[in-house]
Amino acid sequence: MGIRVDVVASSYEELPLDGVEPRELAIAHARGKAAGAPPCATLVAAADTVVDLDGTALGKPRDPGESRWMIEQLSGREHRVHTAFSLRDDGSGQALTECRTTRVRFVALSSDVIDAYVATGDGLDKAGAYGIQGFAATLVERIEGDYFTVVGFPLAAFAQSLPLVGYRLCPPDVSRRTPDPYSTEVSA
């Protein structure tokens, strides 16, 4: 995409917020992470993803037992994934927060499949105990909405929001690309 990214730590401590709806929780955490980033000469972008099962936020599991419980709860059911992102430009003082939601339906999973997935440890660092971009893609029957929202960063919404804080995303200049030495061109 042609974006140079520098990862910086935020001082924000992501704690549960009692009584806050899952969508609002994602927004609060994204804002907190952006506000907790050190002062910066370029655009700060922070995001947070929350899995919402019937109004209950499923965060990152504490251990494999909680991971298994979450996957059991999602099995054969639909849930929502809310991903919020917050942009902060210290130079202009502009800030913006957006949130996108995608519906996800899991297939009905057998205990053996759940056990095998949990044993990979893949979901221990992910909201709802799964990451759609990995093996957990095989657990998903369908989605309604943006795939990248489920991954954890809604790229199209991010690109559309950039002009609102004085930035823009431009496609790379393909005329300047180095030719692929392994490609074959056929001319008539």
Catalytic residues: 48
Task: At 27, list the tokens.
Answer: 């927004």
**How far is residue 179's CA from residue 118's CA, in Å, rounded to a whole number?**
43
**How far is residue 98's CA from residue 31's CA, in Å, rounded to a whole number?**
10
Contact by Cβ (8 Å): 157, 169: no
Query: What pairs with residue 47 in β-bridges?
Result: 85
Task: At 162, list the tokens.
Answer: 């950039």
- Within 10 angstroms of residue 116's Cβ, the number of other Cβ atoms is 12
Using DSSP's 3-state secondary structure scheme, residue 176 falls into helix
